[in-house]
């Protein structure tokens, strides 16, 4: 069960292109942290509680 070489080269090329695109996409927001809605709720609670301190 062999894949002919042209198909395999195309497959490898497509995989490399996809990996490159995925890497570029990951770099776009590298300096940001994603926060879930539950996380934002917790942040808001903490801000309300600590407003008297600051």
Express each pLDDT in 1-45 by its tens digit. Answer: 566 888 989 999 999 999 999 888 878 877 788 888 999 999 999
Count of domains for the chain: 1
Q: Cα(41)–Cα(35) distance, rounded to whole angstroms?
A: 10
Q: What pLDDT sits at residue 15? A: 96
Does pLDDT of 46 surpass 70?
A: yes
Q: What pLDDT sits at residue 1? A: 53
For residue 34, give its domain range.
2-50
Q: What pLDDT sits at residue 2? A: 65
Yes or no: say if 11 and 3 are a contact pair by the CB < 8 Å rule.
yes
Three-state secondary structure call for residue 9: helix
């Amino acid at each position: 069960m062999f894949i002919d070489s042209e198909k395999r080269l195309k497959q490898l090329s497509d995989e490399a292109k996809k990996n490159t695109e995925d890497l570029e996409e990951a770099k776009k927001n590298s300096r940001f942290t994603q926060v879930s809605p539950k996380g934002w709720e917790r942040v808001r609670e903490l801000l309300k509680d600590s407003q008297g301190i600051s």
